[in-house]
Each structure stands twice: as C-alpha cells, then as structure tokens.
Structure 1
Amino acid sequence: MMKRSLALLCGVFLFLATQAQTPKTPQWVTFKSPQLKCWECKDRLEKYLFREKGPNNDSGIMKWQIVMSTGTIRIQYYPTLIDAGYLKTVINNAGFDTEDSKATEDSYKMLPPVCKRPEEGGGPQKGKPCNIPPMQ
C-alpha cells in the first residue's frame, strides 16, 4: 500500500512539473500607435520585433499584425513567458508611442522623419503617400 501511494504521489509531481514547463495558450494584445501609418515605420517595427523574438522564438512573442490604416499592432504572445506591459515596452524601445506611453527618447531620435509624431511633422507628407512601399 505504501509503495502504491508513493508511486502515485511521484506520478502526480511528475505531471505537475511537466505542466509547469509547457507554455499556456497564446494570447493577443492590441496597441494603437499614431506613428504606424507608413510602410517604413511598419518595416522598422517589424525588424525590431524579429530581433526581440530571437532566433529560437523563445522570447514569448509568437507573431504580430500591423494595420497601417488604423495605426494598430496586434501581438500574439505566451503569457507564461512575458506580459502585455513588456510588449508595450518593446514597442516604446523601438521608438514608437502607444496609447498611454511614449517611446524612449533615444530610440525615437533614431526614427526617420516620416515615423515621427504627427504633431512634430511626422507621418504622411502632402502628395507623398507613405502607406505604399516604393518600387524597388
């Protein structure tokens, strides 16, 4: 009886240990950024997210969708590895504002003029649409 109880207890601990290591279901979070209206800004943020995601995809970031017409970015992530606050920091570190937080000053300065805040002269310029990538 004692051996059976010990074996059952070990089995339960082993099951719980494997469950703790398995990431839970990924979740989506959406952020708005008034600067994400241009293909160059989108490309710049995507390159930053690729670096942040890492070569082994072990950062917790799964994938993202950037919609330039609405200035939104949706990010799918594993909440057991990172949280939405971390993702907001990632966007700010790339030089982009979100609804309630500003980009870090150093990274914002590195953005091209078209990706600057609209009140600082950034965004689409009259007669120069920036939501369509130039032909290569």
Structure 2
Amino acid sequence: MMKKWIIILVLAFAAQYAQSQVMSARPQWVTIKSDNLRCWECKERLEKYLIIENNANMQKGMVQWKINLLAGEIRVQYVPDRVSVDEIKTALNNAGFDADDEKAEPDAYKKLPPICKRAEDGGGPQKGKPCHIPPMQ
C-alpha cells in the first residue's frame, strides 16, 4: 500500500513539474517602437530579415509579429525560454531599424533604401505620398 502512495506522489510531483514547465514557456507579447519603420518597403525588408534570424539564431523563439506602419511599431509574440526582448531589439537594430531608444546599427542603417531612413534623414512618408500602402501589382 505504501508503495502505491509513493508512486502516486511521484507522479503528482512529475505532473506539477511538467505543468510548471509548460506555463513558463507560454508566449508573451512585446511592443517595440521604431522611428524608421513606416513604409511598405521597410516592412518587407524587416520581415525577410526576421524570418532568417528567427530560424538561424533565435531557436524559433519569435512566434509571430505584427507591424503597424502608421504607428511605427512592431508587436512580437515570443517564447521567453527561447529568446529575450533584448535579443529581439538587437535583431531589429541589426536589420537597420531603431528599437525603442536603441538606434539601429550604423552599417545596417546605411544599407536601407532612402525611404526607410528616419524622418530627420529624409525617410518615411512624404507629404502627399503615403508609403504605408503596398504598391499595386
């Protein structure tokens, strides 16, 4: 009888441990502002970069992302056990984009097309020429 109770207790602790592991791996959302993420071309460029980076260096820790060009921000759903917010911001910086208060890597920023530069550098939407709308195919 004692042996059965020990087995039950071990199984209960194992189940509790497994549940706590699942709970810690639950995806979370973070919103990151970027002053130079305002046009369709920037969005496409960043998405291509993030797909490669997520598969190669982030253990597929970014589950999904949503880019709001009008607000100049990206919302990222990520798994904290696989990738951190700082790593996500670093990926944005390495792609040439600002991430909150962290400026883009200078060399990557230089490689961006003019429209993807910060407003103070002449980039982003121009008066009468919205760039958040994808071009007609």
TM-score (norm 1): 0.82
State the 1:133 CA deviation: 1.7
Count of matched residue positions in the alignment of Structure 1 and Structure 2:
135
* C-alpha distance after superposition, 1:19-75 (max 9, x if no partner): 5764621000001111111000011111111112218x8321100000011001000
Q: In structure 2, how many angstroms separate the alpha carbons of the residues matched to 1:28 and 1:47?
A: 20
* Secondary structure at the counterpart of residue 31 of structure 2: strand
User: RMSD of the alignment, in Å?
Assistant: 2.5
**Residue 92 of structure 1 aligns with which residue?**
93
Q: In structure 2, how many angstroms separate the alpha carbons of the residues matched to 1:133 and 1:58?
A: 31
Q: In structure 1, how many angstroms separate the alpha carbons of the residues matched to 2:27 and 2:91?
A: 18
Kindly provide the amino acid, as one letter, of the partner of residue 39 in structure 2. Answer: C
Kindly provide the amino acid, as one letter, of the partner of residue 93 in structure 2. Answer: N
Give the 5 Å matches for 1:31-46.
31-46=32-47
Kindly provide the amino acid, as one letter, of the partner of residue 65 in structure 1. Answer: K
Deviates more, 1:126-135 or 1:100-109: 126-135
**Residue 50 of structure 2 aligns with which residue?**
49
Q: In structure 1, how many angstroms separate the alpha carbons of the residues matched to 2:82 and 2:12?
A: 24
**Residue 112 of structure 1 aligns with which residue?**
113
State the 1:100 CA deviation: 0.8
Which ranges of structure 1 fall in alignment gaps of 5 or more residues? none
Kindly provide the amino acid, as one letter, of the partner of residue 98 in structure 1. Answer: A
More helix per residue: 2
State the 1:134 CA deviation: 1.6
Q: 1:128 to 1:64 in 2, by over 3 A?
A: same
Q: In structure 1, how many angstroms separate the alpha carbons of the residues matched to 2:118 and 2:96?
A: 10
TM-score (norm 2): 0.81
Deviates more, 1:13-22 or 1:31-40: 13-22
Q: In structure 2, how many angstroms separate the alpha carbons of the residues matched to 1:113 and 1:16?
A: 54
